[in-house]
Amino acid sequence: MSNTTDTFEKLKAIIIEIMANDEAEATALAQSVTAATNLQQDLDADSLDLLEIVQEIEEQFNISVSDDQAEQFTTVGQAVDAINAMQQQATA
């Protein structure tokens, strides 16, 4: 598995954990979340949801995400790319 695939799967699990209210929603999200999924439009995430997602990203990936960086997380794929870049900077 590539780093991008690992990051995507971890982020997808975070999104499901935060956004799903029950098992049916979790199953639906597991099937529908892709790299092109828009966090606000497709998932109907509000600012509190996005804050929780960013906090969980920071914890799970052991990185620090600034407000400016978090605003760049429009789609799941953009978030994955940003997370990977932040992890590379942290280890450089």
Q: Domain of residue 77: give its range.
A: 3-91
Binning pLDDT at 50, 70 and 90, where does residue 1 land?
very low
Mean local confidence (pLDDT), 32-61: 96
Catalytic amino acids? 46
| pLDDT tens digits, 26-42 | 999 999 999 999 999 99
Bridge partners, 38 (sequence order): 75
Mean local confidence (pLDDT), 74-84: 96
Q: What is the total count of domains within the chain?
A: 1
Neighbours of 4 (CB within 10 A): 14
Mean pLDDT of the chain: 93
- What pLDDT was estimated at residue 2? 62
Residue 48 has pLDDT above 80, yes or no: yes
We report the CATH number of the domain holding residue 13 as 1.10.1200.10
